[in-house]
Structure formats: C-alpha cells, structure tokens
Amino acid sequence: MTVPKEMPEKWARAGAPPSWSRKKPSWGTEEERRARANDREYNERFQYASNCIKTSKYNILTFLPVNLFEQFQEVANTYFLFLLILQLIPQISSLSWFTTIVPLVLVLTITAVKDATDDYFRHKSDNQVNNRQSQVLINGILQQEQWMNVCVGDIIKLENNQFVAADLLLLSSSEPHGLCYIETAELDGETNTKVRQAIPVTSELGDISKLAKFDGEVICEPPNNKLDKFSGTLYWKESKFPLSNQNMLLRGCVLRNTEWCFGLVIFAGPDTKLMQNSGRTKFKRTSIDRLMNTLVLWIFGFLVCMGVILAIGNAIWEHEVGTRFQVYLPWDEAVDSAFFSGFLSFWSYIIILNTVVPISLYVSVEVIRLGHSYFINWDKKMFCVKKRTPAEARTTTLNEELGQVEYIFSDKTGTLTQNIMVFNKCSINGHSYGDVFDVLGHKAELGERPEPVNFSFNPLADKKFLFWDPTLLEAVKMGDPHTHEFFRLLSLCHTVMSEEKNEGELYYKAQSPDEGALVTAARNFGFVFRSRTPKTITVHEMGTAITYQLLAILDFNNIRKRMSVIVRNPEGKIRLYCKGADTILLDRLHHSTQELLNTTADHLNEYAGEGLRTLVLAYKDLDEEYYEEWAERRLQASLAQDSREDRLASVYEEVESDMMLLGATAIEDKLQQGVPETIALLTLANIKIWVLTGDKQETAVNIGYSCKMLTDDMTEVFIVTGHTVLEVREELRKAREKMMDSSRTVGNGFTYQEKLSSSKLTSVLEAVAGEYALVINGHSLAHALEADMELEFLETACACKAVICCRVTPLQKAQVVELVKKYKKAVTLAIGDGANDVSMIKTAHIGVGISGQEGIQAVLASDYSFSQFKFLQRLLLVHGRWSYLRMCKFLCYFFYKNFAFTMVHFWFGFFCGFSAQTVYDQYFITLYNIVYTSLPVLAMGVFDQDVPEQRSMEYPKLYEPGQLNLLFNKREFFICIAQGIYTSVLMFFIPYGVFAEATRDDGTQLADYQSFAVTVATSLVIVVSVQIGLDTGYWTAINHFFIWGSLAVYFAILFAMHSNGLFDMFPNQFRFVGNAQNTLAQPTVWLTIVLTTVVCIMPVVAFRFLKLNLKPDLSDTVRYTQLVRKKQKAQHRCMRRVGRTGSRRSGYAFSHQEGFGELIMSGKNMRLSSLALSGFTTRSSSSWIESLRRKKSDSASSPSGGADKPLKG
C-alpha cells in the first residue's frame, strides 16, 4: 500500500505503522482506530461516528408505523389482528368488528402511550447531553461547541467538575507531570477519585499555541466495551509511545481536583466505552411465561378442533335439513353448497370462540407484575436506613419466579460480609502479631481485651484505627528492620490517592477496601503515605519525610492476583516490593526462605481458619544493570501492537521471581447482620446455597461455619483440591461413594443397589442419608467444569446441602450457574455486589445486586437490588411466594371464567343449526373481559395472600409448592378448563330446560332469544363473581369494591342498553327495548339464575371442604393455627374481664416461637421441618409434596440435587 501524499515523510520511515489502508469501510467492521490531532479533513475519511448520541427509538414520523410493527411482533397481537380482518368479511362474521377492535385498540394504545412516554424522556435526555457545551481547539482558537459537533481528532479543554465529552487521550493538565483526577461513578458506580496521567512527551503541551501545532497520530484498538483496558500507540516526532488505560479519560467521567486538562478525542458518540456498555441485557422469561405460551398453543388447537366440529355439523345440517328450507332460509349468494357453508361456518366460529384466549390476559399479567414490583419498591422492611437505600425491582417480568428459586449462588465478600476491611493480624519474619494474651498465657477474647494500642506518638495517625497487640508497636519503635520493611512495603505498594484538606488531615481514596486498610495500618504504625506524583512517592517514616523514585507499577489483575512496585530509595538502591495471594506468591519465593515460608504458611492457615483475608508480602533487590535491561524489554512489550497484555505479563513474571519473604497480612471482613438467620431460613425452605468466592479455601470454609452453611453436625465436608483431571475425578468419585455407603439401606426394605437398578442415579441421591457439604478450589473447578466431568461434579454437588467454590474467577462463577441451569429443571438466583459478579448475575434466571462498597456495577446488571443480604429472605419468602401464588390464582381463574363464557356458544351451536349465532348480546361479548370481570381478578392478582407475611417467614416450608410448580401447571390448567366446561354446560342447559316449558306471569311463553341471552349472561356474571369470592383468600376494601361494583356495573349497563333512551338515539343498534326489565322481572328467571349458580358453585365448595378436612395444604394448616391463636387470645381477654387473675395464660404460641427461634439461631438441625404444628394437626401434610418431588426427580433427564427432607406435620 502506498503512502498518502499528505503524510509527512518522517511517517514513511521505520517509526511509521505498517499499513495505511483505510480500516473502516462503510460496509465492514472497524479493525483499528486512527486519529490524527487537529486534522478533521484526514479523520473524516474514515467516516467515524459523530459525538451525537441517540438512545431514542422513534421520531414524530416513524413512531406510529415502527411502534405498531414492534407490537405486532407479538404473536397475540397478530392473532387478534387476524381475527379482526376475519370479522370484516360479511360472509363469515356473526359479530360486529368492534367486539375485537375495542380491546385490541385499547391494548395497542396503552402500550403505545407507555413507549411514547419512555421515548420522550430518552429524547429529552439525548438533547440535554448533546447540547452540552465544550471548549474545542479549532484553527488555533478555543471555541465553544456543542457536544454533538465534537469530532474524532479534536483537542478539547476540560475544566474542574466538568463531564468528559468523549473518550479522550489525556495530553496535559494543570497538575504537575500531567496528572489529573477523575470520578467514574457513571461508568462503574465507584465514587472514589482515580488518577490518570498524560504521557511525558505530551504533558508539556499546556500552551494553546503548542497544542495547535500538535499533529501526532494515535493508532489503537477499535471501539469496545472494556472499561479497564486500552491499547494504543502515539506516533509523533519520529517516535512512538505506548498508550494504556491510565492515559485515557472516558466519556461519563467527571474531572475532579484538577483546574484544567486537554485531551485528544479518540472515540466519539456511540463508539465511546460508555455507550458500548449500554447494550441491551438478555431478556429473561419466567417458567410461567414459557408454560403460558405452550398452553395458548394448546388452546388454539382446541379452538380449531371446536371450529372443525361445528363446521362439520353445519355442513351436515345444511345438507340434511337446510336444503328443505331454501325458500325461507336461502343461502348467501356466494354459498353454493353445504360444504362451502361449513367452510365459512368454521371461520365464523373461530371468531366467536376466540375469547378462550382474550387479549386482556396479556395486559392483566403486566399490570399484576407492575403492582408486585411496586410492593417490593415500597417495602419499608427492605429499606436500609443507614445507607438510605430502598429495595428496587429493576424488572417487572420475573416477580413470580422469585417464588420458585431452588438454587442461590452467592458471592462472599461484600455480599455475605460487609466489605469493610479492618487490619486485624500480621506475620512478620515468622512472628505473628494481633493476638492478646492474659497473664496465664491464654488468648484474650474481644470483651476481655485491655485498651487498644495508643498511637499518640504519631500526629498523622488515623484515630479510627484500632489494634490490640502492643508488641507490634514496640517492634516498630525499637527499629526492628523486618518490621520497618514490612510497613514500608505497605506504604509504597499500592495505588491509593492521598488528599490533605487541612494540615495533618489525610484522606485516602483507595480502589479497594483491602488497600485502604493496609495503607491505613502502615500510616498508624509510623509509615505514613503522604503524597505521590507519577514518578515519586513520599512517605513519612517515623516522622522523617522520604521520597522514593517510582520506576514502575506492575498492576494487579484477576489473573496475576498480585501487585508490585519498583522504587529507588534516596541512597540509589532499587527494590521491588510485591503483595499478592498466597497461592501465587509462595511459588515465586527464593529457596533460601523455605524455613520462614513454613512458619508463615502456618500463620496463614491460622488466619484463614479465623475467616480473615490474607495477603503475602515479599521484596527483591535489583541491580541497576538488570533493571535497565528489564525496563527496555518492558517498553518493547508495551509498544507491541498485538498480544500486548500477554507480553507484559511475561515480562512481569520474569522480574517477580526469587523474591524474599517479608510476611503476611490478615484483614477482617465481618459478616453482615442477619446472614446466619437468613441462610438458615432459606435452607429450611429447601433452597440450596452455593458460595462462589475468590478467597482462599480456609477463609471461605470459616465464613461457611460462621454463617451456618456448614455445621458441626454435618456427616462430612468433602474438600476437592486436585490439580489434575484424574485427581479431581477420583476425589469426586470417593465423595459419592461415601455418601452412597452411608445410605446403603434407603428404607422400606430396599437396598441401595435395588434402588439404583430401578431408577436413575438422581433418585439415589435424593435418598442419601445425612448432610454433606462440598468445598472445591478454583483449579479443581476448572477441571470439574470440563465437558466430560461436569455431570459428575454436578451430581456430587447437588447431593450436598452446601457447596463452596473457592479461588474462582468471574468466568467460572458464570459457568457454574450455567451448568445448573443447563441440567437442572430449577430456578437459579445469583447475588453479588461487585463487578466480578456481573457475569454470574446476568447468567442466572434472577440476578440480585447488593449496593455495597464496590460500586454499583452489580446493581446495574441486576434484576433486583437492595443493600443487605438479609433482605433476600423477605424478597423470596414473602414477595416471591406471594407473587407466585397471586399469578397462579389469577391464571387459573382467568382461564376458568373464559372457558365458562365461551363454551356456551359451542353448546348453543347444536341448537341453532350450527349457524354461528351467538348466545350473548354482542355488547356483552365486548365488555365481559374488559369491564365486567377484569377488575375483580386484577384485585385478586395484586392483593391476595394465603397467610400473612409473618407466617411466610415463620414457616419456610410454605415456599416449597413454588419450587415444585404445584399451583399452576398443566394438570392445574386442565382442572380449570374442566371446571369452566362444566360451568358452561350447566349455564346453557339449565336455562334451556327451564325456558322450554316456562311461562311469564301473564301466561305467555317465556322463551325467546333475548330473554334467554339475558338469563345466561346474568347467571354467568353472578357465578364467576361468586367463584372469585371463593378464590380470594385475603379480602381488602378494593376487592369488595371491584367484585360487587362489577356486578352493579353489569346491571347498570344491561338496563341502559335495553332502555328507551338508547333506542331513540340508535334504533338500529339497540332494538330490544325493555327486554332486560321484562325478563328480570320474572320470578322464574331469578329462580333459574339461583339454581344455576348453586349447581355450578356447590361442587367447588364441597370439594374444597373435603380437601381442607381430609388433605389440607400446609397453608391451610397455618391458617388454622392462626384461628386457634385468635380464639385463645379472645378467651384470655374474656378471662381477664371476669377477673380470673389466678388463671395461667396458655403458652403455646410463645413456646412455639421460642423453639423456632432456637432452631434458626443454632443452625444445628436444618433437617427439621419448620412446621411445628403437631399440636394442631393430626395428619401429615408432607406426603403430597414429597411424592411430587420424587416424581419430579424421576422425570428429570439430568442429575438433580440433594437429600430432601420430609415435612413433619
């Protein structure tokens, strides 16, 4: 490729990049970004995106067509549009078009208004952002430009507290050495200040005249969404300079504590990393949604079958009977045969019977879900007063899925723990500090400890810092060289920023709580990190200010799991200081430190056993010659165009070897309040909790015991630490064998082998006796997740009550969740608080974000968020269970009432010559689902509850029906359909039989079409109203108003439509004047309505009465308990009224509460049911749940989990 003519000759020499072809053709994807400063003409050739952003979807012209097109992507909307088109064909339509168009237009309008409102706010936000002002250097002059007019290659001036307009390469700033400070809250939610630095060659360009002459060109990676990575090269003055993320200011950041800075635009508008990260999250659907889609298809098939039956009936009737009455009932002009008449009749009945799946179903479901979401947002018991943070439902589509969770995958740090780090203990040169001993040499507990260490000798000490072991301070004061070097490392090896608002008042801004705790500890022990520049770090060591030259920072990442700095002290000695995870650092120590390593390893195990987070510290002296050679290799690696990170990692690996061990730190991260109780409750609800953490094994295991996931009563805790595939497979096999051996005899005379031969292995694991836990390391997990072993791992893990995965990467977290999703028919929930949990949160069926100390990236990726782990129990056991219960009851009733309504037309077809004549008035058909029966079922779907929230928490076993999907499944669906068909049969044939012989008061025949229609419609509305009254378990004023109000509205509209007034105004539409009044004035009609209602409702009442007495549900038993308690309280009040002061109050309710509380707090017997209702129930209510759980297990095609304990009634 030839060099462009306008390119300076110097670019054609060795310093120039190898290819000058245009890298972003309009038809392809961008391979690399090229941006030349102050040269818009050159940059425009690449057709880069402008800085104008557009998050809106519509404009005034496109809104209607685009929105309608999107809405008709929904199968239901398309289906109803198809029906509307059929109704416009006179030959087949027996209903007016408005019976379908009214509800369809209503739904489309509501959705369109919602979409338009959302898009209006997006337009408003876009305009506000695009019209922000920015200072752009154009033709050597700073000019005010709107953000939308900023282009790639422009140089922009930013001032303090301004937002960054685009992704910029920092060129220079008002701070020394080209430093500037930014806040990245809009990007990652972290409010702590971060530092960015211009490369030295451009940091001198602070003058506008110099910047105007700057013509450097940046060649870098194409636009992507990686916030923490950037790789590029600046070509200028016949040289090339490596660029990294530390040189970039990203759009959305805010400039802080920096008077001004200049930056070169690299990415603009939609190419910026902020916009690249605003992609749509994967849409999640609930299991009920998926089931509904299947059921709707079945119903449609049923609808077609009914249409075919009635069409065949029409063809036969027309052939056998209709041909004889051609004089009186002539066929339409287009109809020339009985067969064609049947064909038209088929479509007519499809129109008439389509109400088995009304469009209002989909609207009602969304309204109910929205109501449930508001209940979560408004829950004051999930509001954190300390942080002023409410719970938030960030999606409205998953609420009922919260009532079906079987597996919870939880992060540890910041989720189970507070992520507020405290320097607790340390090991220095083989000596452990942090424990306090009494005069007898026994370790003192926290309450028995003396006063904390006095740091008054240090005027710069942090007064909030507490440490209890005075011997460490004595070692520092006595000048112990190892102790001094230990704290010197902590004061130098970090990326903390220091801010000194007043003399001696230091404020540290750390990127992680761990770093902040370590630097604060060094500060209190006399090694005070005071300030930094890009090339120096100033530390006050025991009162003396010492400035170290900072030669290199080898930064931390999730792969390296360590961080190093290379510094030169005032004497000119070069030293590398390193801190990192013990599993990484201990392998990189010099062999001469073996003895010290053994001692330190013992201390590390001791600290980890106490649940502390550990880091190992080491150093290495470097001679000048070696450092110069190594620095050159590092420079070459940083300039590499491809595999830059791998090359840098290799160079870092080389220098971070043969280090000398200094010691280790132990930081305490305390459990959040209520974590043990929450885990105990969720375990009683048969929810399995897996902890996925990056901490070391001992720390994770200790936290497991602290939060009652692991207990001393467990049969065995299996620990998998194999380093090879064979080792991991063998350890998993041994674990399964031990579980099988302990359950050699399952019971009922069946041996283990017999059970194995008669069913799948998963059924065996269901029968495993005892409680087990599995702890697996990250390197072992990597092998366990391989395709040929993942089933063995899942099978073993699911047989355990608790699973802890240690040292796992963010990707492995997501892989574990995906594994359970793939093979288990179970709902998964992932909960975390940090950026490393995002992939896990997005992978699970439900993602929950904790708004904690690590920013809000997890919250932004989540479906639900709150501030403390303990709120999870309320989210699942109260809101989740209620949402599932309400949605299931809503769907059951909805299908029932619509089949009862629609099937009457089917029976009537056999008595009207299959002519597609409707039973009801067409206005009744239109209003039935959107007026007469819509509000009562909505009220039930939004407000209903079987037991109060306290009982939901008190009896976690109430949660199990949701896990087993008992309340709405194919069986329940068919029961609802059967009840609806039964109701429709009685609804039609009872009035039909009565009207055949009945007469009016004046002796005339009662039977006529309109009187029959009014009677059947009135019976229907009353029956479905009584039915919803029976289905409602929790009555509110709204329920009463909607149910009885809907009945009143029905009668009001009925009489209005048969009134003289409407007939006078619309004589062609309302022809049957006075029919309703005349019909409902007849006692025979009311007796018929009452008879129909009683015969329809009594079997339901009888069935429920028998079920309540013979086979009560757990919720029935709990409600009975409540009634008994209320009666007891009433009796006690009566006793007090009559002055029986000597009588003793029954202690049942209180002793029950106490026993349950002890069970939760001890965590020793999670096998027991939470039922504790033996005083009230004589029958076990467990059999139905256990048998269904067994059936579910047997039908699963893949391994499923652990030993489910029977409910004990």
What does DSSP say about strands 574-580 and 562-568: parallel, antiparallel, or unpaired? Answer: antiparallel
Q: How far is Cα of residue 392 from the mean position of the Cα atoms in its chain?
A: 11
Contact 850, 858 (CB under 8 A): yes
CA distance 1028 to 941: 11
Sign of CA dihedral 969, 975, 980, 984: positive
Determine which helix (DSSP H) or strand (DSSP E) holds 752, and give its type and residue range. helix 752-758
Alpha carbon distance 553, 569 (integer Å): 15
Q: Where are the alpha helices (DSSP H) in 844-969?
A: 857-861, 871-874, 881-909, 922-927, 934-943, 949-954, 960-963
For strands 827-832 and 405-410, give the pairing.
Answer: parallel
E strand or H helix that includes residue 348: helix 338-352
Check if the beta carbon of residue 86 is closer than 8 Å to that of residue 100.
no
161-172: string of b/e by CB count within 10 Å (b at 16+)? ebebbbbbbbbb
Task: Give the dihedral sign, CA 855/857/858/859.
Answer: positive
Q: How many distinct helices (H) and strands (E) make up the chain? A: 42, 35
Q: Are 87 and 93 in contact (CB under 8 A)?
A: yes
Contacts of 1103 (CB under 8 A, 6+ apart): none
Q: How far is 1193 from 1197, CA to CA, in rounded Å?
A: 9
Q: Find out whether 1006 and 1000 touch, Cβ atoms under 8 Å.
A: yes
30 within 8 A of 24, measured Cβ to Cβ: yes
Q: How many CA atoms lie within 13 A of 691 on its CB side?
A: 34
The CA distances from residue 584 to 561, 651, 981, in Å, are: 7, 16, 69
3-state secondary structure of 650: helix
Q: Which residues pair with 193 in a beta bridge?
A: 183
The SS3 assignment for 807 reads coil
Distances (CA, A) of 11 to 5, 217, 236, 1119: 11, 10, 9, 84
537/552 Cα distance (integer angstroms)? 12
Q: Considering 188, 411, 695, 833, which one is annotated as catalytic?
A: 411
Query: Is 1008 a residue of the active site?
Result: no
Report the alpha-carbon distance of residue 338 to residue 316 in Å, rounded.
7
Q: How far is CA 1034 from CA 363, 378, 734, 957, 1115, in A?
A: 23, 20, 52, 20, 13
Q: Are 893 and 940 in contact (CB under 8 A)?
A: yes
Residues 201, 205, 206: CA angle, nearest 5 degrees: 140
CA distances from 736 to 157, 246, 727, 761, 784 (A): 65, 50, 14, 11, 14
Selection from 514, 476, 463 nearest residue 617 by Cα: 514
- Residue 794 vs residues 93, 786, 821, 846: alpha-carbon distances, Å: 57, 11, 11, 20
| H-state helical runs in 382-428 | none
Tell me the C-alpha distance between 1001 and 909, whole Å. Answer: 30
Give the CA count within 13 Å in the CB-facing half-sphere of 864.
Answer: 34
- Cβ-Cβ contacts under 8 Å for 127 (sequence gap 6 or more): none
Active-site residues, by number, are 411
